[in-house]
Amino acid sequence: MFNSLVAIVNNPKVNAAITIIGLVIGGIGLLLTFYYTKKTDIVYQLISDSYVIEIKEKISKLDVLYDGRSLKASNQTLRMIVFSVTNSGENTIRIGDYDQKLPLGVSFDNGEILEEPKISGSKEYFSEKLEPHFLSKSSVSFSPIILEPSDYFTVTVLVLASDNNPVKIIPTGVIAGLESGSPRLLDNIKKEESFFNKAVNGGFLVQVARMPIYTIAFFVALITLSGLVSFPQSIAFYREDKRFRCERIGVVNKYISVNKIKYSAALEYIFLEYSDRRLFYFSDTGDKPGSLFDLRDLTNKMTDLYSGIEQVPNPVKEKLVSLVESRGVWQAVLRLCNVPTQFNDQIAFVKELQFELNKFVEYLIQNDYPILYSMRDESGVRFLEPYSGKPDFNWES
């Protein structure tokens, strides 16, 4: 699965499509950056509304007095109301943004403010600088203060209200930049917003602006998932590679011991290719194992090979290139060689390589050992399969 994902990502058409999508999304992001206007928003939110003294059943001889006034006689009750005022917009509200004649404040429908409200805030200086000013028995205003985005202050008010009717909070005041001119009210009890809501909330333009992040997150999640799925398979491949390499090193050592071989440059490269090749197993037909070679390594090796023989005379160069193209597995062997640039050295090396390879392959076939692997193309993917009954390489004289 991981190899399939790598093949898809390395596909030029896929890369071109991803590039175009990235450019489009980037362009949209830039346009939104230039044309998007930050909003100003002040939100009042009810935190709690509770009875100071709650009497669930009426008792004839029980009464509650406040400042000598009978609450029972006037059919009233004491309520403690707590609400917050938050700058939920993206702009800082400065002192000059407040209307001096209609300052920020609050009014209570069906409620009389009995004592000066208590104020606390997200910053210490709110408690020092914010002062309530009574406008009437049921409304107060707050002194102008700088509110940065996400700043808030909390107001606690003791209210005398009718026992049968709820108290309604009415935000008052005019602030520059507000769409409606006045603050808005969220009269529900304040709740912590979930992570999911924070992630998906927002209008169409907000979602479009988030598209680059969504795209990156999608590919990161896809690659991570592919890695998690393929990790057990990769461990199995690694163990199989290790076992396979040990077996082949044993074959090489036995060949050297039986035939009393002396090392040469050609033999070194042949043994290295035979013993140290990494093979990735998978089932391509469902009934027999195949082996997939690392195409990126082959590409790099082929590039190195061509640059290494660039100055070789044309007849030899054409010969080598045709051998590499017809026997693709040899590009790894030749790439490991420090290919001589002299004509005679090139010929001598090729002949030695041909001779030693034929001897080694004959030994492998006679002893029923796996021979070197050759490449073929099938459905756009290169495989490695053992030939049966013949050597991997038939070098032309």
Q: What is the pLDDT of residues 348-375, one digit of tens each?
A: 665 676 677 778 777 877 777 655 443 3
Which distant-in-sequence residues (6+ apart) come within 8 Å of 49 by Cβ? Answer: 79, 80, 81, 82, 166, 167
Residue 234 domain flag: no
- As a whole number of angstroms, the distance between CA 63 and CA 246 comes to 96
CA nearest 189: which of 169, 207, 174, 203?
Answer: 169
User: Do 268 and 182 belong to one domain?
Assistant: no
Residue 36 domain flag: no
What is the predicted pLDDT for the residue at 387? 36
Tell me which of 191, 213, 239 is where a domain ends.
Answer: 191
Residue 247 domain flag: no
What is the predicted pLDDT for the residue at 106? 93
81-95, 171-185, 374-388: which has the highest mean pLDDT?
81-95
Q: What is the pLDDT of residues 52-72, one digit of tens each?
A: 876 666 766 677 777 777 777
Tell me which of 191, 206, 235 is where a domain ends.
Answer: 191
Mean pLDDT of the chain, nearest integer: 67
Residue 245 domain flag: no
User: Do 165 and 293 belong to one domain?
Assistant: no
User: Do 141 and 279 belong to one domain?
Assistant: no
Residue with token string 């043994």: 271
Give the mean pLDDT of 297-303.
40
Tell me which of 203 and 41 has the higher pLDDT. 41
Order across the sheet with 105-109: list the strands: 132-136, 139-142, 105-109, 168-172
Domain that holds residue 365: 262-385
User: Do 46 and 147 belong to one domain?
Assistant: yes
Tell me which of 191, 214, 238 is where a domain ends.
Answer: 191
Burial string for 9-19 (b: 16+ CB within 10 Å, else e) reads: eeeeeeeeeee
What is the predicted pLDDT for the residue at 61? 66
CA nearest 217: which of 30, 25, 33, 36?
Answer: 25
Residue 289 domain flag: yes
Share of the chain above pLDDT 90, in %: 9
What is the predicted pLDDT for the residue at 201? 59
Residue 353 domain flag: yes
Confidence band of 302 (pLDDT split at 50, 70, 90): very low
- As a whole number of angstroms, the distance between CA 95 and CA 85 comes to 16
Of 113-117, 151-155, 278-282, 364-368, where does mean pLDDT reach its minimum? 278-282
User: Do 266 and 367 belong to one domain?
Assistant: yes
User: Do 179 and 302 belong to one domain?
Assistant: no
User: Do 153 and 55 belong to one domain?
Assistant: yes
User: Do 285 and 185 belong to one domain?
Assistant: no
Tell me which of 175 and 371 has the higher pLDDT. 175
User: Do 271 and 179 belong to one domain?
Assistant: no
User: Do 70 and 166 belong to one domain?
Assistant: yes
Q: Is a pLDDT exceeding 50 seen at residue 340?
A: no
Residue 138 domain flag: yes
User: Do 75 and 171 belong to one domain?
Assistant: yes
Tell me which of 110 and 64 has the higher pLDDT. 110
What is the predicted pLDDT for the residue at 375? 35
Give the mean pLDDT of 231-250.
71
Residue with token string 């393929």: 230
Tell me which of 389 and 321 has the higher pLDDT. 321
List the beta strands (DSSP E) in the chain: 42-51, 65-66, 69-70, 76-87, 105-109, 111-113, 118-121, 132-136, 139-142, 152-162, 168-172, 184-186, 280-283, 289-292, 374-378, 381-385
What is the predicted pLDDT for the residue at 260? 81
User: Do 163 and 270 belong to one domain?
Assistant: no
Of 87-96, 150-159, 298-307, where does mean pLDDT reach its minimum? 298-307
Which distant-in-sequence residues (6+ apart) come within 8 Å of 134 by Cβ? Answer: 113, 116, 140
Residue 35 domain flag: no
What is the predicted pLDDT for the residue at 163? 78
The residue count of the chain comes to: 397
What is the predicted pLDDT for the residue at 141? 93
Domain count, the chain: 2
What is the predicted pLDDT for the residue at 276? 61
